[in-house]
Amino acid sequence: MPQYSQHSFGLQLALLSRAWRAELDRRLANLGLSQARWLVLRHLSVMKSPPTQRELAQIVGVEGPTLARLLDSLESQRLVKRVTVPEDRRAKRVTLTEQARPLIEQIETIASQMRSEVFVGIAEEDVRRCEDVHERILANLTRE
């Protein structure tokens, strides 16, 4: 692939990511949530057991202090709680509250509607091909 095309691809990817996040933030604003907060709630909602803060930070892909601020905010909204791990008092497990469940359903509905609108006119095969390319690029980036 020519150097210019690779540069253009990376730039488009960055712009797409930023635009996607901004649109989702706009749609979630009336719920008092941003994509960052939604992402934390989403991960917690699909995990089999409550992760520690450190595990959740790795899964979400943020630094510990960033996650701590997100959790402070979600805790003040009574959507998550942090529970001390008996075998390590310094560690905290993060759990969803019952109040979070209906909100997560609302978020999923909003996100699903957005995806439906964003993918209009794009063939499923094209989406799969794009995912394959993204996976290969990610593998190249994370290869040691």
Q: Does residue 63 register a pLDDT over 90? A: yes
Residue 88: what pLDDT?
Answer: 83
Mean pLDDT, the chain, as a whole number? 91
Query: Mapping DSSP to helix (H, G, I), strand (E, B) and coil, where does residue 89 land?
Result: strand
pLDDT for position 113: 96
DSSP conformation class of 51: P
Amino acid 23 reads E
Q: Range of 124's domain?
A: 3-142
Q: Is the pLDDT of residue 59 over 70?
A: yes
Domain count, the chain: 1
Question: What pLDDT score was predicted for residue 102?
Answer: 94
Q: Which range is most confident: 1-15, 32-46, 128-142?
A: 128-142
Mean pLDDT confidence for 22-26: 91
The answer, yes or no, to whether residue 1 has pLDDT greater than 60, is no
pLDDT at 121: 96
What is the 8-class DSSP label of residue 68?
Answer: H
For 68-105, b/e burial (b = at least 16 CB within 10 A) is eebbebbeebebbbbeeeeeeeeebbbebeeebeebbe
- C-alpha–C-alpha distance, residues 144 and 141, integer Å: 8
CATH assignment at residue 138: 1.10.10.10
Residue in the block written with tokens 């905010």: 73
**Partners of residue 88 on adjacent β-strands:** 85
pLDDT band at 4 (very low <50, low <70, confident <90, very high): low
